[in-house]
Every structure is written in C-alpha cells, then in structure tokens.
Amino acid sequence: MLHEILLSLSGHPSPLLRTDTSPEADAIAGITPPERQLLSEAARLSDVHIKVTTHAAQIASTHKSTVCRAVASSIESKQLAAFQRKVLDIERGILQDDPALVGAYNIVPLTAVIGEFRPWVRRMEWLWGIVRFMSDVDGATLINRLRDELQSGYRDIEETALSLVQAAESSWLQQVSVWILNGRLPMFGSHDFFVQKVDGQYPGDSDDFTVESSLLPSFVTPGTAASMLFIGKSLNRARLEKSRHVTIYGIEDMPAKIKQLASLSLPLKSSDLTATIVSLRRSLAEKTLQKLLPLSKVTEALQILRDFFLLGRGEFAMALVDEADERTRNRWRRADNLAYDKSEGVSNITVKDGEVAAVLARTWGVLVSRQGQYEEEDDQVEVARGLLQLHLDNPKIPKALTSSHGLSRESVEILSTLPFSTLLFSASASLSIDLPSPLDMILSHSDLNLYSVINSYLLSLRRAHARLTDLWKITSLRRHFPAPSGADEHAVTLRERWSERLSLMRSSWTTASAAVFFLAETEAFLQTEIVAVLWDDFYEWMTRGQQTGSRTTAEASNSSSPAASAAARHSEASGEDEEDIWLGSNGISETAAALPSTESTSRQPFHDPQTLSIAHKRYLHTLTHRLLLTQTSFTQPLYTLLMHIDYLVSHVRRLHSIFTAIDLETDAGVVDAFVDLEREEREVQMQLRGVERKVKRGIEEVVAALRALEADSRFMAEWEGEGVREAREVEEEGADDGERYLPARVGGINRLLMKLDFGSWF
C-alpha cells in the first residue's frame, strides 16, 4: 500500500486513493476509517499535483505570453521537481529503515508518511491557484500577482513566490533587453510586451511605437517606461536611417550594456531599474544621437516654429494676412457679394486648395523681394519656404492632438475644435510644417498640430488688428481739407457733404479706435509677456552652458533683424561638422554653412532627445494654457468679437465704395441704373450701427471673461504652474536638477486688465 501511495503522489492515479466511502469498499480494502482520512489527504495532494503538472505543461508549451511560459517552466523544473525529490526521499528512507519513518518490527506508520507531505499541501494548493490564474492573463498581471504573494506571511509561500518572480522578471527583462539594446520588438510574445507597434498616422509615415500601460508591471514607473520607449524607438530609427553611428552603440558597447542589465538583482527594484535605464539612455544620447540628431538642428527647427508659427517674424504674418485678404476681396468683387445682408460675413465664399497654396507662394515672393531691396539674404526664409505649407483643413478629420502635453482630454477636445482657423479665409485653413526625419523623435505630429492651432489663434488677432488699422489709410473717408478762401458754391457743397459724412462716421471711428486699443494691448500682452518670455526661457535652458553669455546673445538677437537673430542663435548652437538632416528630405541646402561660427564655445549642455522632447511638450503645454486657448469662456466671446470686427471693416469699406459711387453720380454724372445708391447707403449705415453695438458688447464680454478667470483660484493655480512642478518628477526620473525644465513665470492676467481699463470709455 505504501508503494501505491508513493506512486500516486508522484503523479500516477491510483484506485487505492479513490474517494469511495461505502462500507463494502472499506471491508474489501481492509482500511479503517482513520486510515481512510489519512488517505484522503494523500488523495487530495495527489490530485492537485496531477492538475498542476498537467496545466503547467500545457501553459509552458502553448501560452502566448513568454513570461507565463517561463513561470510554468519554473514550476515544472523547480517546484514539481522538488516535490518529486521529496517522494523519492521518503521512499529511500523507508527502504533504508530511517527511524523517522520506520518503527518497531519494520512497521511504517501511515501518519508518519503523510506527515512528511503536509508542508507541501499549502504550497501545492497555492501553485494550483497560480496555474489557474495565469491560464488567461498577460505577463505583467502575473508578475504583479506574484509580487503581491511575497507579502502573504507564510514563509514557504514567500520562498515559492520569490522563485517564480525571479523566473518571470528574468523572462520580462530578456524582452526588455531585445528592445533597448537592438530597437526591435521581441520575436516571441510581442503582443504581451508593453511596447506596441502602431501604424503611421499619416500616409508615408513609418510605423510608430507606443506604451500600453496595462502591460506594464507595477514596479515600472511611467518615466522609466517612457525612457525605454524612447531608447528602442531611437535605435529603431537609427537602423532605418542606416546611420553609421548606430554601430557605436550596437557593437562596441553591447557587452557592457548586457552586463549592466544582467547585474540587476531579482526581484527588480524600481530605483535600480530606473537608474540603469537612465544610464543606457544617456549613453545612447552621448554616443549615437548627438551625431544623428545634434542640438544645432533641434534649435534651428524650433527657431523656425517660433518665427513663423508664433509670429516671431512679424513681416511674414503681415504679408500672409495681406495676401489672404487680397484673395478674398477679389472673390468678393467677382461674386458681387459684399453686403452684410447677403454674405453674412464671408462664410459662403468658396476657397480652393490651389488658391490657398498660391497665397503662401505670393507671401514668400513678397518676403524675398523685400530682402532683395532692404535686407541681406536670409537663409532661414529659404529653409522655411521648403518646409511650410498652407492648406485647407478637412472638416471630417479633426486635428490629431494627444494628451501627451499634459493636457486633459477635455482640453484636447477644445483645442481640436477651436474656430480661429476659419478667419483667414472663408474656410478652415492651417499653416503646417513637414519636418524631416529624425526631428520627429522630438517633435511629434501632435506637437506640430498644436503649433498650427496656436498660429491660427495669434494670426487671427494680428489680422483683425491689421484690418482695423488699414481703415485709417482711407484718407477720403477719414478727413477732408478745408476749402480755400473765395471758393464757389460747389466747394461749399463738398464741405457740407464731407461734414455730414464725418458726423455719420464718428461712432464708427470711435468703435474702431476702441477695438484697435483692445487688440493692440491684448496682442502685446500675449506676444511680449507670454510667447517671447517663455521662448527666451526655454531657449536659454536648451542651450545653457553652450556659450558664455548665451542669454545676452539671445536677447540681443530678439531686438535685431530676423536674419541676424537666426544667425546669432545658430552660431550659439553650432558645433563640429555634422550630418545635414535637411539635405535629402526636402532638397534644401545646409543653412549653417552660410552662418558664422564661434570659437568661444565651451562644453555643450547635455540634454538627450527624450529630455528635450519632454521639456518641449511642457513648454507647449504652458504656452497653450497661458495663451488661454483651453478656456472656452474666453475663446468663444473673443472669436465672436473678431467676427464682428470683420463685419465692421467690411461695412466701412462698403460704405466708402457707396460714397465714391454717389460722388461720381453727383459730380460727374456716372449713373448705374441697376443700383439704388441711396437705399444701399441707408441699409449699410443701419447694419453698421448694429455691428458697432456688437463690437462694443463683444469687448465688454471678453474683458468680463478675463475678470472671471482672474477670480478663479483653480485657474490661477494652474497659471502659476503648480501642476507642472508636480509632474516633472514623474516625467524626468533620474534627471539632474540642471536638466529639468521648469517654465518661467510670466505676468498675470491682471496686467492685461489694468491696461484694458483705459480703453473702456464707451
């Protein structure tokens, strides 16, 4: 019977241990009830052992997760093998008359045999629960469960769980090593890995990678996961670029990196893993990415975004507005659709993609012609000319924005639906840029789309301001000269006509002056106290230590011409001869070759691409928030006000054209039989009075919205950047204090409100 029991415990089913409790069976077997109770314990242990063995073997051979396979194999090779050895030890002790098992007259008490296996009952039951749990879970969930079991309080369970945790994390670490050392997804079990491959969002894009948070073990922090994602993406990109620099990391340092990963103790500690990943990231940045993606190229690209998207080059914005307005006026003239009661603004004027592209082409022509007349040749314009595009937006496809900038999902939805892009033309149009690889390692499509949103917002303010000030260029509408002494009756008639019109236009000029004041102060606040301050602070952090007096150089370049500004900042970022990322992608020559370099450079600052990417996203988040783009209580009345300003300008120009036609009819006899000029004059004047009231009310509503925001304590806390300070530790784990970017504090809304108080005379 002992032999049968031991065989059954070894995993071979035995009829002796069947749960048949009938009196006939007991009589036949000759087993007493106490012995039956002991045998039921052995039967239970045997049954659990068989189940664990069967399921572990099945998981080890068929499970989709390599981590689960590794744990199942560890259960087979260690835990179940240890149980088998225990059975053999018991059998050996019985055969060798071990006093612990064999009593007098060579009697082997069943209680002694079963007692030897009782410590395995809890462990085998626990293994059966683990095997059932991992039948349909992923590797990260299993690792988290096993790490929780380390705190069960039972020493035997803790030791078993520790062995399985080591097997699971060792398998997981092998997957990680394939990704962070070679830039490849694991060949087996990639669906279970926390890095997942996603298709390119735009036609022609290469495949991208993202972190699936649900597949991350609990000991991996978000910052560490972001670093691992960046390392793998960088190596993958370097291999796709077929760069010679990838061999520096891939061959010479590979043994050291493997040894560094292998030195991690199991179970993995979050701090040790973070320190190792940060070390690998820095090594990659120093030996590969600084040559593949030098800082000078990053600063050059960001300078283009600052100058052309954030209106750093005012002449580009003004030329673009002028050309767009000229195109719109031409369409108005052809359609004869200028009256407010017919057009309801410009919403029904159709614009085609070719016309929008032609506007940008003419804008570049204007800038180039101005350079030829007044300025030296500016290579930045040529670079931007090959990269920037102006196109109509597809209303069915919203702007691809993500919450990677620290924005909430609600803020992302607000930014995606902002209407300011409809003000330049009658349809939604956006300025975009196609940056060459590998700059997309730092600047994502979401970043560039956010730049487009900000550009539409700032450009709409600049456009409204320019259109209003252009009204003062209509001299005949704004003023008249006194008649000379001894003038005839015609001169007196003209003077009376001009005086009457001047009286009629007085309220219009008052309203336009108030709107100009409001736009001038608002635009000055946004540009000088927010955009310029944040950019200078971010640029100084990005190039810190690169050249002595870099902040002074940056400030001096801001006050100089755009060409000198680009040259000065490029000279700060210039270094050794590097591969040109612009040439080949767009056929544009290297701009740095034409710019002077400096010999007074010191040690370059160490900001690896991931640190730059995180800092840039934080810069964009801060810029978006402080420009009030996510505050619908402000953007909605502001957009309505800008629309009414457009109507005001259109009506004033229309009234001027009517006055001109009336003068021709009265003084020169030029009569249009199909037009009733007096009726149109009355209608336009009536509509003009209505728009004046709307403009005044719109300014009051926008100012009231600013006051409400100033009184909102939660908004002002975000304005001060408290959320940014809390998030920086998570995003930049392992970074030194000098590496972290914290946006500068800028003037509050109260500074703008104090200025606007002077314009509230109506």
Alpha-carbon span 312 to 532, nearest angstrom: 8
Predicted local confidence at residue 669, as pLDDT: 73
Predicted local confidence at residue 421, as pLDDT: 92
Tell me the DSSP string of 170-197: HHHHHHHHHHHHHS---SSSGGGSSEEE
Predicted local confidence at residue 499, as pLDDT: 80
Instruction: Tell me the Ramachandran region of residue 425: left when phi exceeds 0, alpha when psi lies from -120 to 50, beta otherwise.
Output: beta
Task: Answer yes or no: pTM beyond 0.75.
Answer: yes
- Return the HEC string of 329-390: HHHHHHHCCCCHHHHCCCCCCCCCHHHHHHHHHHHHHHHHHHHHHHCCCCHHHHHHHHHEEE
Predicted local confidence at residue 756, as pLDDT: 87
Predicted local confidence at residue 547, as pLDDT: 45
Grouped pLDDT means (10 residues each) for the chain, 762 residues: 68 61 49 68 83 92 93 93 82 70 66 77 91 92 94 90 94 92 86 83 61 91 89 80 48 71 89 89 78 85 94 93 84 51 48 87 89 67 92 76 73 90 88 86 89 95 94 82 65 78 87 94 94 94 61 41 41 41 40 37 60 90 92 95 94 88 78 77 91 94 94 83 49 53 86 80 52
What values do phi and psi take at 212, rounded to 5? -95, 105
For residue 761, give the DSSP letter.
Answer: -
CB neighbours (10 Å) of residue 140? 23
Predicted local confidence at residue 334, as pLDDT: 55
Judge whether 198 and 189 are in contact, CB under 8 Å.
no
Name the residue among 378, 341, 271 with its Cα closest to residue 733. 271
Alpha-carbon span 36 to 1, nearest angstrom: 12
Predicted local confidence at residue 760, as pLDDT: 56
Predicted local confidence at residue 597, as pLDDT: 38
Predicted local confidence at residue 20, as pLDDT: 52
Alpha-carbon span 715 to 504, nearest angstrom: 44
Query: Exposed/middle/buried for 211, CB within 10 Å: 0-12, 13-18, 19+?
Result: middle
Predicted local confidence at residue 639, as pLDDT: 96
Alpha-carbon span 580 to 449, nearest angstrom: 25
Predicted local confidence at residue 347, as pLDDT: 46
